[in-house]
């Protein structure tokens, strides 16, 4: 299982932006089990990269190849199974169902392709300190709480790659470390890779490779 | 995919515009009801009039003539059938045979000899034997034979019996009429004349004429008259069903005159079928309108739930699975709507048969199978259009 980036560059980037980058316009290959840290200042295309990798957008030149097949060739159905079975994500903007409860938000992901039984939702929520929020609508949770909901949701499915786009922006260090610990455990369970993009280096992420975007 | 649709249902925002949904359900119900009722009535008419009653010999024989109008009066060629007309009529699919009634082209006088002091100018006609209902074996003539067998219209005999007493003539029974020997004198040009003996060998209910063997009249027309071309003022037509609307339309379009009584049912049937075809088409239009209304409702629903649906797709829900499940939500309602319409149609048919038609045996209280098939087809059609619509809209969100 490999995720390859071949000469990738957003179409809306000019050539000057790529020169300093260790990702754009490079040939990179990520394998299962790796922990990739991408340090990216604002405006360097961090979210674009995550969206490209998740197949949400395709305004890029070059190729993203998963398992020897370019994402450009994927149909809508292919992307559905790609996101259901192989790649999970924590969005920077979280993307929860505002009118559903925390539990329902997580369950909607879990039932799609259950990696864990439903009881695991409560267990993880307790661990991340949002056990008492399970029955609340997600829109009335604080941003930090919503961030933890999004993290638990991403861990409910099987995956080969876990994409993290500034997952701790509204969490304090203690909560961040706690959440990171959970994600590392879950990644290990699946022998999965984590691709972690953030504004700066974070000490408690034991990366195996580091890139500056 | 084993995922359940239940938690997703609440993500589809349907509450705020249920009015248009109910309107479309009701519209669909009314349209289906109209359509099914029209089909059933159409079939009822088919079974009540024509179709069912095969004639004794399996055919209707009716005579047609060209309508003589003030414009065509006196123009023989416009009022007579020529060979092209005959060929064209014979080629129609609903006509199984055609034969011209050929009349004499010379003067004929008929007298009853000494027994009945009666003499009159007369006409003779000939027709294919196949078209005459009563053809005895001795209805034939050979050149040189001075005896002519005659097939006589029973109506004419009746008319004779009506006026005979007034003229001091004896009334005749059918049996006596065939005993009477009459003398037929044919007058040709330049004073040529020849007298034949004749007698009635059969009475015909079908043909209103005095029929002599065809070969005799052909020979006599040639000898005493001056033309051999076939020009007939009347044609006899053999048809499976004189009430067939196509047949009637054809006659009407050609402006041919036909015995109205024989085709009366056909005309009623034509009008009724026209009415119910119209109603059926109207019903179909209502069905289409209802489906369109429903598709607007679907578009609105999907537009309102766009964010949620997009997020589901983004999480890895398959667009195909989602379209199937979203459209499946409406299956029970669709089936219910059509079944209710079907039940109402069934009730209508039962009431029509029982109260309006007094359980006539030609009809059934049950619905015809085509009505059931149409109902099934409509369920299929609404489910299919529904699924296609949802699928199209969802794939647009991907």
Mean pLDDT of A173-196: 94
Q: For chain B, give the mean pLDDT.
A: 83
> Which of B203, B86, B218, B223 has its CA nearest to residue B156?
B203
The pLDDT tens digits of the residues spanning B216-245 come to 888 888 888 876 666 788 888 888 777 777
Mean pLDDT of A115-143: 94
Q: Is there a single domain that holds both residue B131 and residue B216?
A: yes
Least confident interval from B253-267, B300-314, B315-329: B253-267
With H, G, I as helix, E, B as strand and everything else as coil, classify residue B235.
Answer: strand
In a domain, B135, yes or no: yes
Res. B140: pLDDT tops 80? yes
Q: For chain A, give the mean pLDDT.
A: 92
First-to-last alpha carbon distance for chain A, in angstroms, is 23
In a domain, B85, yes or no: yes
Residues of A in contact with B395 (CB under 8 A): 76
Contact A109 B315 (CB under 8 A): yes
The pLDDT tens digits of the residues spanning A18-27 come to 677 899 888 9
In a domain, B282, yes or no: yes
Residues of A in contact with B8 (CB under 8 A): 108
Q: Count CB atoms within 10 A of the CB of residue B154.
A: 17
Quickly tell me which residue has 């409860």 as its tokens.
A101
Mean pLDDT of B257-286: 78
Q: Specify burial of residue B128 (Cβ count, 10 A radius: 0-12, 13-18, 19+).
A: middle
Q: Is there a single domain that holds both residue B211 and residue B69?
A: yes
Q: Is B120 on the interface with A (CB under 8 A)?
A: no
Q: Is A83 on the interface with B (CB under 8 A)?
A: yes
Number of H helices, E strands in chain A: 7, 9
List Cβ<8 Å contacts ≥24 apart for B76-79: B76/B231, B77/B231, B79/B233
Contact A109 B317 (CB under 8 A): no
In a domain, B246, yes or no: no
Residues of A in contact with B320 (CB under 8 A): 77
Domain span holding position B216: 60-239
DSSP A101: B
Q: Is there a single domain that holds both residue B28 and residue B80?
A: no
Q: Is there a single domain that holds both residue B279 and residue B182?
A: no
Rounded to 5 degrees, what angle do the CA atoms B371, B373, B379 make?
A: 105
Q: Is there a single domain that holds both residue B319 and residue B206?
A: no
Res. B54: pLDDT tops 60? no
Res. A184: pLDDT tops 70? yes
DSSP B17: G
**Rounded Cα gap, residues B287 and B292, in angstroms:** 9
List Cβ<8 Å contacts ≥24 apart for B303-308: B304/B13, B304/B16, B304/B17, B305/B11, B305/B12, B305/B13, B306/B397, B308/A97, B308/B11, B308/B12, B308/B13
Least confident interval from A152-156, B11-15, B153-157: B11-15
With H, G, I as helix, E, B as strand and everything else as coil, classify residue B162.
Answer: helix
Ordered structural domains, chain A, with CATH: 2-212 (3.40.50.300)
Comparing A158 with B121, which gets the higher pLDDT? A158
Q: Is there a single domain that holds both residue B226 and residue B274?
A: no
In a domain, B254, yes or no: no
Residues of B in contact with A84 (CB under 8 A): 315-318
Res. B53: pLDDT tops 60? no
Q: Which of B3, B4, B314 sits opposite A56 (nearest CB)?
A: B314
Contact A76 B395 (CB under 8 A): yes
Mean pLDDT of B195-205: 88
Q: Is there a single domain that holds both residue B173 and residue B193?
A: yes
> Residue A82's pLDDT is what?
94
By DSSP bridging, strand A161-165 and strand A87-90 are: parallel
Number of domains into which chain B is organized: 2
In a domain, B258, yes or no: no
Residues of B in contact with A81 (CB under 8 A): 316, 318
Residue A27: strand pairing partners: A6
> Residue A128's pLDDT is what?
94
Q: Is there a single domain that holds both residue B231 and residue B275?
A: no
Contact A83 B1 (CB under 8 A): no
Mean pLDDT of A35-49: 90
> Residue A54's pLDDT is what?
94
Contact A111 B3 (CB under 8 A): yes
**Rounded Cα gap, residues B241 and B62, in angstroms:** 10
Model ipTM over 0.90: yes
**Chain B residue closest to A79 (CA)?**
B316
The pLDDT tens digits of the residues spanning B307-319 come to 999 999 999 999 9
In a domain, B253, yes or no: no
Quickly tell me which residue has 């097939």 as its tokens.
B151
Q: Is there a single domain that holds both residue B115 and residue B35?
A: no
The pLDDT tens digits of the residues spanning B275-286 come to 888 888 888 888
Give A 32-61 residues with CB within 8 A of chain B: 56
pLDDT band for A179, please (50, 70, 90 cuts). Answer: very high
The pLDDT tens digits of the residues spanning B155-182 come to 888 888 898 888 888 888 888 888 888 8
In a domain, B371, yes or no: yes
Q: Is there a single domain that holds both residue B35 and residue B70?
A: no
Contact B316 A56 (CB under 8 A): no
Q: Is there a single domain that holds both residue B310 and residue B365?
A: yes
**Rounded Cα gap, residues B117 and B110, in angstroms:** 11
Q: Is there a single domain that holds both residue B76 and residue B207?
A: yes
List Cβ<8 Å contacts ≥24 apart for A16-24: A17/A44, A17/A45, A20/A212, A21/A212, A21/A213, A22/A211, A22/A212, A22/A213, A23/A49, A23/A211, A23/A212, A23/A213, A24/A213
């Amino acid at each position: 299982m490999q995720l390859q980036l071949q000469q990738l560059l957003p179409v809306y980037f000019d050539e000057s932006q790529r020169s300093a980058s260790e990702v754009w316009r490079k040939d990179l290959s990520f394998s299962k089990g790796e922990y990739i840290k991408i340090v990216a200042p604002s405006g360097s295309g961090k979210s674009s990269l995550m969206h490209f990798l998740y197949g949400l957008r395709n305004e890029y030149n070059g190729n993203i190849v998963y398992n020897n097949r370019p994402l450009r060739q994927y149909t809508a159905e292919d992307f559905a199974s790609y996101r259901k079975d192989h790649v999970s994500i924590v969005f920077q903007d979280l993307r929860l169902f505002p009118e559903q409860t925390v539990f329902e938000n997580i369950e909607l992901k879990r039932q799609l392709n259950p990696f864990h039984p439903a009881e695991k939702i409560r267990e993880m929520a307790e661990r991340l300190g949002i056990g008492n929020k399970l029955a609340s609508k997600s829109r009335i949770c604080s941003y930090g709480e919503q961030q933890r909901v999004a993290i638990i949701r991403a861990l409910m499915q099987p995956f080969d790659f876990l994409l993290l786009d500034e997952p701790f922006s509204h969490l304090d260090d203690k909560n961040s470390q706690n959440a990171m610990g959970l994600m590392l455990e879950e990644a290990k369970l699946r022998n999965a890779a984590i691709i972690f993009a953030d504004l700066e280096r974070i000490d408690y992420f034991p990366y195996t490779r580091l890139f500056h975007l | 995919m084993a995922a359940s649709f239940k938690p997703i249902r609440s993500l589809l925002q349907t509450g705020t515009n249920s009015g248009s949904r109910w309107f479309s359900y009701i519209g669909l119900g009314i349209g289906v009801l109209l359509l099914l009722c029209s089909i059933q009535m159409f079939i009822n008419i088919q079974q009540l009039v024509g179709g069912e009653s095969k004639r004794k010999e399996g055919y209707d024989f009716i005579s047609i003539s060209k309508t003589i109008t003030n414009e065509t009066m006196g123009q023989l060629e416009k009022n007579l059938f020529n060979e092209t007309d005959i060929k064209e009529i014979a080629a129609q699919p609903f006509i199984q045979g055609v034969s011209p009634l050929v009349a004499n082209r010379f003067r004929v006088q008929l007298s009853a000899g000494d027994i009945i002091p009666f003499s009159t100018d007369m006409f003779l006609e000939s027709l294919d034997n196949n078209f005459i209902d009563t053809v005895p074996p001795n209805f034939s003539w050979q050149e040189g034979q001075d005896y002519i067998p005659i097939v006589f219209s029973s109506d004419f005999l009746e008319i004779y019996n009506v006026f005979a007493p007034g003229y001091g003539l004896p009334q005749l029974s059918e049996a006596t009429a065939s005993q009477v020997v009459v003398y037929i004198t044919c007058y040709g040009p330049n004073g040529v004349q020849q007298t034949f003996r004749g007698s009635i060998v059969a009475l015909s209910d079908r043909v209103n004429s005095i029929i002599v063997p065809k070969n005799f009249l052909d020979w006599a027309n040639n000898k005493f008259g001056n033309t051999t071309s076939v020009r007939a003022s009347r044609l006899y037509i053999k048809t499976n069903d004189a009430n067939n609307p196509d047949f009637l339309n054809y006659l009407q379009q050609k402006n041919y005159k036909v015995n109205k009584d024989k085709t009366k049912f056909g005309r009623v049937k034509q009008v009724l079928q026209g009415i119910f075809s119209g109603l059926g088409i109207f019903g179909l239009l209502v069905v289409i309108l209802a489906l369109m209304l429903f598709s607007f409702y679907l578009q609105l629903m999907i537009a309102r739930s766009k964010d949620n649906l997009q997020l589901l797709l983004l999480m890895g829900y398959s667009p195909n699975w989602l379209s199937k499940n979203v459209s499946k939500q409406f299956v029970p309602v669709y089936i219910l709507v059509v079944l209710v319409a079907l039940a109402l149609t069934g009730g209508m048919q039962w009431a029509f048969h029982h109260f309006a038609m007094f359980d006539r045996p030609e009809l059934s209280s049950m619905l015809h199978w085509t009505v059931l098939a149409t109902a099934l087809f409509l369920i299929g059609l609404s489910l299919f259009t529904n699924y296609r619509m949802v699928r199209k809209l969802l794939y647009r969100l991907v």
